Amino acid sequence: MNRFKTLPLIFALLIAPPLIAEDGAPAATQPTTQPATQPTTQPATQPEGVTLSPFADKIGRAHGVEAYRTHSALQADITVTFGGNTALAGTMTFDTPVGRSRIETGDGAVMVLDGEDAWIAPADAPVPPGMARFHLLTWPYFAAAPFKLADPGTTLVDAGPKPLDAHHILPAGMLTFDAGTGDSPDDWYLVYRDPDTDRLAALAYIVTYGKDTHDAEKEPHVAVYEAFEDVDGVTLPTRMSMWNWESGTGKIGEMLGQLDLANYRFVEPDESTFTQPDGARIDAPPPPADQG
């Protein structure tokens, strides 16, 4: 569980009924890339056997990766909006390696990823098929992305300055994956670094789930990191907006959604945090598009 294993599902699942629906509109009308505060500067060390690229090292140090790794798990209040509706609202907990996660919603549903399988409790909770797994894998990785750029099975190389939008050309790195890594190893991500703070500024990506790379590259998207919060020496994202995006020119299209995270706290989970809840049903990922 070391990468955006379900980011390829994101736009396929957006048309599903929201978990918690309410009227509303996205807060942003165009992405912003200005940092909130200055970065931390402590040197980063990488787990044994993993080579850290200079590009990933700068981002990791700016976000306080050493302090992040001293903690077991992270918890935050989460709100996700898409299409003017609240798709998810509740409390999210995930371990810092981002292998296991838990989300408790305001209407009493509990979703848990135990490291392999996703579960929903109670079994009759009105969560559309595949959506629990999507939420449990996607949003923790968005939050922890600055600390995950040198995971086993990944390669991040400096790509030089690239246009993010019509007004920003930023240092970028191309993130690719070894065969067999995650659900969609043919995905790529263009990682943008803020040159003033070295923080993660944005992630552009393609969606190869259910389609080949050629078709996926016709519809790239970008997630822009707009705000941050410092918690115990760690700089964590508090707002991300997702947009249609044009590769090569950086032309920003329609805003697709927004992720807001608040009240971060590092926690020590107990044995039950990431285990199958009582009375739960399993939530399998939907099949690829060409399989029905």
Query: Which pLDDT score, from 0 to 100, does residue 169 have?
Result: 92
Distances (CA, A) of 281 to 133, 203, 284: 12, 33, 10
Query: Which pLDDT score, from 0 to 100, does residue 178 have?
Result: 59
Distances (CA, A) of 269 to 3, 70, 73, 235, 266: 22, 14, 7, 21, 10
Residue 21 has pLDDT above 50, yes or no: no
Token output for 252: 């920003």
Q: How many Cβ atoms are within 10 Å of 111's Cβ, its own excluded?
A: 28
HSE at residue 277, side-chain half, CA atoms within 13 A, is 23
The mean per-residue pLDDT over the stretch 271-277 comes to: 95
The mean per-residue pLDDT over the stretch 51-74 comes to: 92
- Domain membership of residue 88 (yes or no) is yes
- Domain membership of residue 289 (yes or no) is no
Q: Are 55 and 156 in contact (CB under 8 A)?
A: yes
The mean per-residue pLDDT over the stretch 213-241 comes to: 84
Residue 185 has pLDDT above 90, yes or no: no
Residue 245 has pLDDT above 90, yes or no: no
Query: Which pLDDT score, from 0 to 100, does residue 6 have?
Result: 40
For the segment 127-172, what is each residue's pLDDT rounded down to a tens digit? 888 889 889 988 998 999 999 998 877 788 898 999 998 888 999 9
Residue 254 has pLDDT above 80, yes or no: yes
For the segment 255-267, what is each residue's pLDDT rounded down to a tens digit? 889 999 999 999 9
For the segment 199-208, what is each residue's pLDDT rounded down to a tens digit? 999 998 865 4
Query: Rounded to whole angstroms, how far apart are CA atoms 138 and 82?
Result: 14
Mean pLDDT of the chain: 78
Query: Which pLDDT score, from 0 to 100, does residue 288 have?
Result: 54
The mean per-residue pLDDT over the stretch 19-44 comes to: 39
Residue 74 has pLDDT above 80, yes or no: yes
Query: Which pLDDT score, from 0 to 100, does residue 137 have?
Result: 86
Q: If we measure between CA atoms, which residue out of 200, 207, 149, 199 comes closest to residue 175?
A: 149
Query: Rounded to whole angstroms, how far apart are CA atoms 81 and 100?
Result: 23
Q: Are 229 and 40 in contact (CB under 8 A)?
A: no
Query: Which pLDDT score, from 0 to 100, does residue 286 have?
Result: 60
Q: How many domains does the chain have?
A: 1
Q: Are 280 and 121 in contact (CB under 8 A)?
A: yes
- Domain membership of residue 291 (yes or no) is no
Collapsing DSSP states into helix, strand and coil, what is residue 279?
coil
The mean per-residue pLDDT over the stretch 46-67 comes to: 79
Residue 59 gets which letter from DSSP?
H
- Domain membership of residue 287 (yes or no) is no
Q: 120 has which bridge partners?
A: 111, 281
Higher-scoring residue by pLDDT: 12, 88: 88
- Give the CATH number of the domain where residue 171 resides: 2.50.20
- Domain membership of residue 280 (yes or no) is no
Higher-scoring residue by pLDDT: 103, 217: 103
- Domain membership of residue 239 (yes or no) is yes
- Domain membership of residue 278 (yes or no) is no
Token output for 223: 């997630």
Query: Which pLDDT score, from 0 to 100, does residue 206 have?
Result: 67
- Domain membership of residue 35 (yes or no) is no
Query: Which pLDDT score, from 0 to 100, does residue 187 have?
Result: 59
Q: Which domain holds residue 145?
A: 7-26+50-268
Q: How many Cβ atoms are within 10 Å of 14's Cβ, its own excluded?
A: 16
